[in-house]
A and B are shown apart, each in its own frame.
Chain A
Amino acid sequence: MRDFLLNNVSPFPAKPDANGHAAVHIAPVSAGFVIHVLGNGAPDESGLTKVLGDIAPDLGGGLRSPSPGQWFWVGDCDISQGRFAEIAGHMPAEFALSDQTHGRVRIMLSGAKVRDVLIKGTMVDLADDVFAVGASAMTMIGHIGAMITRTDVECFEIMVLRSFAESLWHELDQMAAEFNQPHGI
């Protein structure tokens, strides 16, 4: 068989100046995994955490819940299709896995003005005492559905369907553009 080249193509536009914001940094996440975990009963996040820790202790990652009994298991290391199948095969019946690594992609927004950018898109209250580090929520960024997770004081992860990724990138780029001053504002 011919040795065909297989590239994992990013859905984000390669626009170098998009990373040039002084007060807001926008960066797509090219590595990692997103696995949709579907529970069959009452939400049991602690139980799921234990199961995942037992089956794949090396992968780490975190859980974001889009709805009762469902989670996105998100991590930064790459896993193969074979490894996913292996993990899925070991999951107890109460949890089903759907690999969404290619279907849901992530963008990290960080910087001093990150909340000033995000309030242009989301109605989620991002105040420190309301949306603390680790919190996540399904929301809209403009007209695009997305999941927003606070990963640090001035850092947010936005997870979006792949087909909307380029459009969301443009929106975020535009929303952040007013901070494109050499020293921020």
Chain B
Amino acid sequence: MTSFRMDGGTLIDRDDVREFSFNGEKLRGFGGDTVASALLANGRQLVGRSFKYHRPRGILTAGAAEPNALLTIGRDGRRDPNTRATMAELFDGLEARSQNCWPNVDFDIGAMNGLLGPLLGAGFYYKTFMWPAAFWEKVYEPLIRKAAGLGRASYDPDPGYYEKCWAHCDVLVIGSGPAGLAAALTAGRAGARVIIADEGAQLGGGMLAEGSMIGGKPADAVLADMVGELHAMPNVEIKKRTTVFGAYDDQVFAAVERVQKHLAETAINPNRAMERLWRIVAKQVILATGAEERPIVFGGNDRPGVMTAGAMRTYLNAFGVAPGKRVALFANNNQAYQTALDLEASGIEVAAIIDPRKCPDIDYDGKARLIAGAMVRDTAGRKVIKSIAVRHDDGRDEVIAVDALAVSGGYSPIVHLACHRGAKPVWSDEHVGFLPPENCDGMVPAGAVAGNAGIASCFVAGAKAAVSVLGVLGLTGEPASLPGLEQVDDIAQGTVAIWSVPPSKGKAFVDYQNDVTAGDINLAMREGYDHVELAKRYTTNGMATDQGKTSNVNAIGILAQNKGVSPGEIGTTTFRPFYTPVSFGALVGASKGFEFQPVRKSPLHGWAARNGAKFVETGLWYRSSWFPKDGETFWRDSVDREVRNVRENVGICDVSTLGKIEIFGADAAEFLNRVYCNAFLKLPVGKARYGIMLREDGLVYDDGTTSCLAENHYFMTTTTALAAGVLTHLEFCAQVLWPELDVRLASATDQWAQMAVAGPKARDVLAKIIDDDISNEAFPFLAAREVSMFGGRLTGRLFRISFSGELAYEIAVPAGYGESVADAIMVAGKEFDIAPYGTEALGVMRIEKGHVTHAEINGTVTPADLGMGRMVSVTKDDFIGRVMNRREGLLDPMRPALVGIKPKSPEDKFATGSHILKVGDEVSLANDQGYVTSMCYSPSLGHAIGLALVKGGPERYGEEVVIWNGLAGTSITGILCNPAFVDPENEKLHA
């Protein structure tokens, strides 16, 4: 190992040597290392380049807030850009690369941006690159985007599997530092269902870096005891590597678990999720998220080797990594002094402690020279820190040679989750930070997030919080007895606010990730963007992946300092999920590829597939669209043949996807009479009727047939698209509008396999499998009843209805028998040249017949617009849409109404959506007469036909018009006509 790896390190396993690469260079670390600790152990302080100025950057933190050490880890589809080196666990074979640098991190051409610093201040792109205007999109913006930025996403598909899960608990403990552990133990011992979640690979939070004794026992031994007890409790669920990133209404919390992201590719189980997105429903929550240590804003504070004091202590105690050989500490609070003590205890020279407080109230007995009332004004060094410039209280400057600098500007409680539901954090002068809102609605903060300091104090706070939530849950519990409680003494941090130090030559960074300096914040103020939300957007402070975890409070402090007010008056920007970045993979879960969305298959899907169907997705349904035969290479070849065969012989079509609703009850007829605009009260048993439903506004909602199968038992069909919508509508009518009616509704769409058998020979075919008499006399048009089939082996429902305009039946059988029945119909129909037809042919035939679908029922039409005005009852007392259907505007004879349309020259074609113009009018929508709603080639007529909604409608049959396709820029002459192109007298239906 290198000289930076020391003895100790509670988290690493020195027997587990792991090889990895950094920018192609082979390095070694240990199991338990993060990429950051492994890089530091290898003496790599320079790990990346900054966003805008391409400045050399190192590792600032040891956790989730890291703004600098963002690396691209992995390759191909497993490549994760912008990965925080401080959170990424080291595995064998890991490949890490620096970002935003070229040709490499050591020599980055982009660093020339630093020379242009005066031109690249906050909002520079609003002020520069203004001329010539055309250059903005073509030159300036591409250049800026290329020069700035973070990592690049992979274009390769991620081979990993992701999933989403639900979890439930009485108490969710977020964070497993001393407060979280004490809370979980207290709640767990009381028998509550507890989930404790922590983003780290190990439970412990701040305790993991604690090198001191607790109650006479080493901190790591105390931690092991606590975690061991939690593991032994069956009512406690431990979620490590799990970041709770969002708090939502109804106590739902979202978390992402890194299930296998920390494993080498060879160790990944392809059937297990790489990441798992949890939705956790918690009755009560204890927020033990801790506090983030703030950097201090001074010149050159971003130079590699500058690190927060707590991070330095973590690398030292948890990972056995020396941050440098000669270190200085710049801190404005007492807690940070522990870093100096730990460094000295490890044999690392602490060159100086620079404390801006003139008389720090601390009992420090270390060897380091304490320089009180002083500040670090600047740093020097090319790619790593070499020295610091200290401004003494008396104005004297001193340069001190160091190779690392620990910085602590105080602590910012991690209040994000407490604020996701809209509450604002509250400023505390005592704590020099924002504390969680007072009423967190089912969420109790405890520990450092609530301003507690010191392990024993956090133990007490966590246990106390747990007792309080147990009370809310109706449980009783005692605060967990834990070691060291006799040490309880809220440590006075003595923090004094230091928002920025006097200016120096070097840039003083507030937001490392976005290269926002104190000068940028000041500039924003001078230019009027002094509101915290405006300043954020003008400077980009607090944006991007870290969302200002280390920068926001300092920026607020600078704004407050400049305005002469308290940071509490400035306030914070709005906290929103996500607390830390969440991968798209986790958000998508398993819903990709074949599992992108559920698939609905008709009970005749297998039959259709065996007959060569081409399927089309219709919503979630897969519908058989056409059935190509040998030699048919173009879909129209098949569709034209299928149509001709139905018109001349007989065809069979799967219509199982149509919505089917069973309606029962003594008032079912009255109910139907109210939901349809036409009469249904006297529909006799054994008969079907076409019905139109209106919306309350009098426009058509849906159409379909309803059959009376028995007294008080009806069977309704709906369009495929509105099957669920119509059932919901009917339930609303039954439950809310007319609860006094005895009517009961059951969806039966999936119970029945239904097929249309259509064509002049349809009866001949069905007679071979149906036992009952289905002659025209015994089973006339619109007959509907149960029939015996196959010699009594099966009962089906037969409906004599037709969408194609031919002699046609629809036969419904229990879904499991659908394929057998369809096969039987094919066998029975062979002598009649039966052939399957799909939805395309069905669509052609309905246009030939002038039947409407939702292409025409488009939410703007009345029954009269569709040529069915006479169906609207004028005798019924009431029905849905009755009153509004009689509005003056809906009775205007010049409303667009349904017509047929065909080209004057049979060889001409036109497109759906084309507009209708009067002959001679200027081609313009100002002269619009209507548009084509449906169009097809009619094999029966040998030319294109269509349906259209045209002003004046049927009054204009025979009129020549212009069919204008504005998109294609073409026009042809067409003729308006009766929409029933085939069998307008309905003779076939009654054959």
Contact = CB atoms under 8 A, between A and B. Distances in A.
B820 A163 contact: no
A164 B600 contact: yes
B168 A142 contact: no
Contacts of A174: 161, 590, 595
B597 A143 contact: yes
Interface string B820-835: 1101100110000000
Contacts of B349: none
A150 interface: no
Interface in B592-617: 594-595, 597-603, 606
Contact of A40 (B597, B601, B744, B769): B744
Contacts of A120: 163-165, 590
B279 A4 contact: no
Nearest to A178: B272
Given A11-B601, A93-B666, A98-B746, A4 B827 contact: yes
Contacts of B751: 98-104, 162
B556 to A, nearest CB: 38
Nearest to A6: B820
A105 to B, nearest CB: 9
A142 B164 CA distance: 9
A29 interface: no
Contacts of A130: 168
A44 to B, nearest CB: 14
A103 B827 contact: no
Could you tell me the dominant secondary structure of chain A's interface residues? loop
B167 interface: yes
Contact of A1 (B595, B713, B750, B791): B791
Contacts of B749: 103, 161, 163
A36 B745 CA distance: 10
A4 B816 contact: no
Contacts of A39: 744
A125 B281 contact: yes
B272 A5 contact: no
B590 A119 contact: no
Contacts of B364: none
A33 to B, nearest CB: 11
A155 B343 CA distance: 57
A119 B165 contact: yes
B289 to A, nearest CB: 25
B590 A81 contact: no
Given A36-B746, A143-B591, A7 B768 contact: no
Contacts of B108: none
B596 to A, nearest CB: 10
A19 interface: no
Contacts of A127: 168, 193
A96 B662 CA distance: 10
B166, B597, B662 — most chain A CB neighbours (10 Å): B166
A100 B748 CA distance: 7
Contact of A119 (B167, B820, B821): B167
A1 B790 contact: yes
A9 B816 contact: yes
A176 B742 CA distance: 44
A39 B744 CA distance: 8
Closest 3 CB pairs of A and B: A103-B751, A96-B664, A103-B750
Given A2-B827, A98-B748, A123-B279, 9 more contacts: A2-B768, A8-B814, A38-B744, A98-B746, A102-B814, A102-B815, A120-B164, A162-B751, A166-B599
11 contacts: A5-B823, A8-B816, A96-B665, A98-B662, A102-B750, A103-B748, A123-B281, A163-B603, A164-B600, A166-B601, A167-B599
Interface of B: 161, 163-168, 193, 269, 271-273, 279, 281, 590-591, 594-595, 597-603, 606, 621, 662, 664-666, 713, 742, 744-752, 768-769, 771, 790-791, 793-795, 814-821, 823-824, 827-828
